[in-house]
Chains A and B, each alone.
Chain A
Amino acid sequence: MRAATIEKLGFARQMFAKNMFAKPIAVGSPLPALSTERDLRLDLFRGVALWLIFLDHIPENITNWFTIRNYGFSDATEIFIFISGYTAAFVYGRAMRDRGFLIASARVLRRAWQIYVAHIFLFTIFMAEIAYVAATFDNPLYAEEMNILDFLKQPDITIFQALLLKFKPVNMDVLPLYIVLLLFFPPMLYLLMWQPALALAGSALVYVMAWNFDWNLPAYPNGEWFFNPFAWQLLFVFGAWCALGGAQRLSGLLRSPAVLAIAIAYLLFAFAVTLTWYIEPLGRFMPGWLSDWMYPIDKTNLDVLRFAHFLALAAVTVRFVPRDWPALKSPLLWPAIVCGQHSLEIFCLGVFLAFAGQFIISEWSGGPLVQTGISLLGILIMIATASLISWYKEIEGRSPTSRVKPPDADLAGGEA
């Protein structure tokens, strides 16, 4: 009891120390050793997730049968948010340890601003597409559906609501989520470094509260955010927690055969359930009590079943893809890795390419061949752009102005 009080007082003193914000943070417990080398597995899986998000965003697309959402409860969004949390903690955690709360927070907020600008840029392109459809498409059969274009009649309100992140057209929900998560990240990161278990428990508490009290942010014109930040923060914070030593703490657990068996069993169960969605006759094997209990599997609020599915996937992946897996250096996996290393740019490009691809498919009524071609071409453009960005970074790294930058600038410069 007394020890706890002393610790609390110690923390309070730190909190209110005059120049706490300028100084590197002195934390009670020794900081987990942050490895300096980037874990290429993160880049690999984030790159793959970006491709899958791109494919899933083209509604009329035969190739999105290959994406993981058809084989289990979770999808590429979970991978993307988890790895984003992990890398954010990895990059800004080091900044916070080495340069203090203020500098690290400033950099997190700058990152949030960059994502905000990217979001508005995408919104502009989206508006152009909508305006085109509104001007050229008319069919009495779809009189009701065309009401979706009503917001074009009030551009003043619509654009303002978009700037407030309340108006988010289809497929433009992930970046606003990311922005909000980053806005609240500095204090969370501080807590994660000071008391990781407490931070994780707090995050879980917010998640539970969001479910119990229906917390969510309002959207325009009606409704709420498609990705509820109060729920999805759990995955982001969990990723950050893993990056700050949590993964090491879990490593014993992850090595246990029992955990592996449970994870595989759960993945197989989820696969069996998803089969009943697509193969109607299998539906009769689904017991009524199970579907009553299980459905709906809520994406907006990051259903526990989805979260568990992601954990199972991650456990199996970590088990079979070691950090020093030689293939990570092979040219075969390089395209995905390079995309994962420039995730913001490639994510935005993917959203744009999905718009463009869908546009081409609807103008030509493209069959499976056109769809496959567009999907492959889109991924190729993503890879080419990512390598171009890498090349720019490389030549800038050689330029004299950048020599004064801190050694982790390349990681922090945009890839969290």
Chain B
Amino acid sequence: MKLVIATILATLALAPIALADGAAVAAPQPEQCDVPESLLASDADLARVTNAVKTKHRLDISVVGSGSSALAGPDGIRSAYPARLEDVLKQRLVGTEVKVTAHVQAKEITATMVSGLSKILADDKPVLVIWQAGTADALNGVAPEDFHASLDEGVDSIQAAGADVILMNMQYSPRTESMLDVSAFADVMRLVAQAHDALLFDRLAIMHYWNDAGAFDLYTATKKYDMARRVHDCIGRALASQIINAAHLDAVRMQTTR
């Protein structure tokens, strides 16, 4: 009998805590995916971007990448980060004509991408190439040193063609982390970016941060596209911020509007 009463009392005592917990969960999650400055900061500049925006009021960007630069499903192209980047840049760089062309080939390793670069550079004449790489190479067991050599060659040819480079590394994918080790490829990308004065968009660290901060639960299993779309939208925004910072375009805009 005593036990029953004790149980009831304990339940009553704990109920408010449980309710409070429930309320916290039910509260609407803020739809934000801010990225700390430190994750977007870089010593390198995007001088060619600055120049193109300032003098020609144009910004032509090519995105080269594999599967994780695209989304399947209805509206896939419009919701993937290249298209989101274009929209955000158009909003933020008023008076500049922005064009983002995506060259995405699923499962394409970096060595293959390099052989297609000259055509892309000739066709798009970009001032900035965003090069997403690494995942397909890790999946195909490409040796990190071969990956390094391909990336070196590719960045050289992009810079020789007169464009700035942003290297984008892998997605943070906690569910496949134990099967697919991407760290060696991420290290190579950081090194290549440093060696060529290029920018690194550290998608791995940024998505990791979002997961830890609670912006996204990247462990979630779902067949729906909602979350994938929101993540790509956030990647597009973060990329736009990195470009505007590294090309010092906020200052430019302020000068012109003043």
Using a CB–CB distance below 8 Å, which chain A residues touch chain B? 59-60, 129-130, 133, 136-149, 169-171, 219, 221-224, 280, 283-284, 291-292, 295-296, 298-300, 355, 358, 362-363, 365
Contacts and interface: CB of A to CB of B under 8 A. Distances in A.
Contact of A145 (B68, B73, B195, B223): B68
A357 to B, nearest CB: 10
Contacts of A224: 143
Contacts of B145: 296, 298
A186 to B, nearest CB: 31
A147 B139 contact: yes
B188 A292 contact: no
B230 to A, nearest CB: 9
A145 B191 contact: no
Contacts of B231: 141
B76 to A, nearest CB: 9
Interface string B107-138: 10000000000000000000000000001100
Interface stretch (B12-20, B167-175, B238-246, B250-258): B167-175
Interface in B5-64: 38, 41, 43
A144 B136 contact: yes
Interface of B: 38, 41, 43, 66-68, 71-73, 106-107, 135-136, 139-145, 148, 171, 173-181, 184, 187-188, 191, 194-195, 217-225, 227-228, 231
B120 to A, nearest CB: 20
Contacts of B180: 145, 148, 170
Contact of B222 (A139, A292, A365): A139
Contacts of A59: 174, 177-178
Contact of A136 (B181, B184, B221): B221
A53 to B, nearest CB: 14
A356 to B, nearest CB: 11
B227 A142 contact: no
Nearest to B106: A144
A219 B72 CA distance: 32
Contacts of B178: 59, 129, 170-171, 355, 358
B139 A148 contact: yes
B221 A147 contact: no
Given A133-B179, A141-B71, A141-B228, 15 more contacts: A59-B177, A59-B178, A137-B221, A140-B222, A143-B67, A143-B68, A144-B135, A144-B136, A147-B67, A148-B139, A149-B179, A280-B38, A355-B178, A358-B177, A362-B219
Contacts of A363: 219
A141 B171 contact: yes
A291 B194 contact: yes
A169 B179 contact: yes
Contacts of B194: 283, 291
Contacts of B174: 59-60, 362
Contacts of A299: 184
B73 to A, nearest CB: 6
Contact of B227 (A141, A148, A221, A283): A141
A298 to B, nearest CB: 7
Contacts of A355: 178
A346 to B, nearest CB: 20
Nearest to A133: B175
B176 A139 contact: no
Nearest to A150: B139
A14 to B, nearest CB: 43
Given A144-B67, A145-B180, A137 B140 contact: no
Contacts of A284: 43
A284 B221 CA distance: 41
Contacts of A60: 174, 177
A3 to B, nearest CB: 46
A142 B171 contact: yes
B176 to A, nearest CB: 5
A144 B172 CA distance: 12
Contacts of B148: 296
The 9 closest A-B pairs by CB, nearest first: A144-B67, A223-B141, A222-B141, A141-B228, A145-B173, A140-B228, A144-B68, A145-B176, A59-B177
Contacts of A283: 194
A82 B180 CA distance: 27
Given A140-B225, A141-B227, A296 B191 contact: yes
B222 A221 contact: no
Given A144-B135, A147-B139, A292-B195, A170 B223 contact: no
B38, B188, B221 interface centre (most CB from chain A within 10 Å): B221
